[in-house]
Structure 1
Amino acid sequence: MTNGTDQKPRAEAPPASETFDRAALVARALGFRNGLKPNESLGDSLTRLTVWTQHELNAIYIRAGGTLTTRPVQRSTHDGESTWSATEITLTVHVPSIGDVQVVTDWDEECGGRDLPVMRALACRESIA
């Protein structure tokens, strides 16, 4: 028997309480004290988060460990008028009941920090531009 339509049932978004619980798990695993609200304008989600500096990434690396990778990227301003090359650093942390969560930032020479544990771990395998 059909319901009279040819449409597939729509996937429903998880209830707000479930999203909050998942965010709380990620926040706790990464050590975010004030909870977690992904910045959607940066492309953030519960499994991909942006931090502003390698110092913030280092604090998460010390607390949670994980796997580090880098890749060259092209960045631009929102209006696209200015572009630049950057090295994106990604820390992948496995969060139980969630899966892998990526925390990313761009290497910023002006912020310093080549002596940070996260940077020393990367230096063993890769060079930072």
Structure 2
Amino acid sequence: MVRRTRLDGDTCPVARALDVIGDWWSLLIVRAALDGDRRFSEFHRTLGVAKNILAARLRTLVDAGILKIVPAPSGGAHHEYVLTRRGEALRTVIAALREWGEENAPAISGPRM
């Protein structure tokens, strides 16, 4: 396994940001959360990511203060993932990536809904 280089002490703010949210699954999870996904099963269905990868990325995003775990409104043992203020602040990043992708990386089968 390749060891990940930590960038949290770097002087560059871009490097520090990438240390927190720099892998594609994390950004796609944040995008899905911004689009309304809150439960593990919703993220899994939306993204099609392996459950072990999803669980690891959700844990990382919670640890980083991007998401928080709250009890599901229906009660029971279920819980949901909601964006924190820090997570909501990524809305502009996701919007900029979406705009860049639409202009510079067009979809073969049409735009994502």
TM-score (norm 1): 0.22
| Structure showing the higher helix proportion among its residues | 2
Higher relative contact order (CA 8 A, sep 6+): 1
Find the structure with the greater CA-based Rg: 1
Which structure has more strand as a fraction of its residues? 1
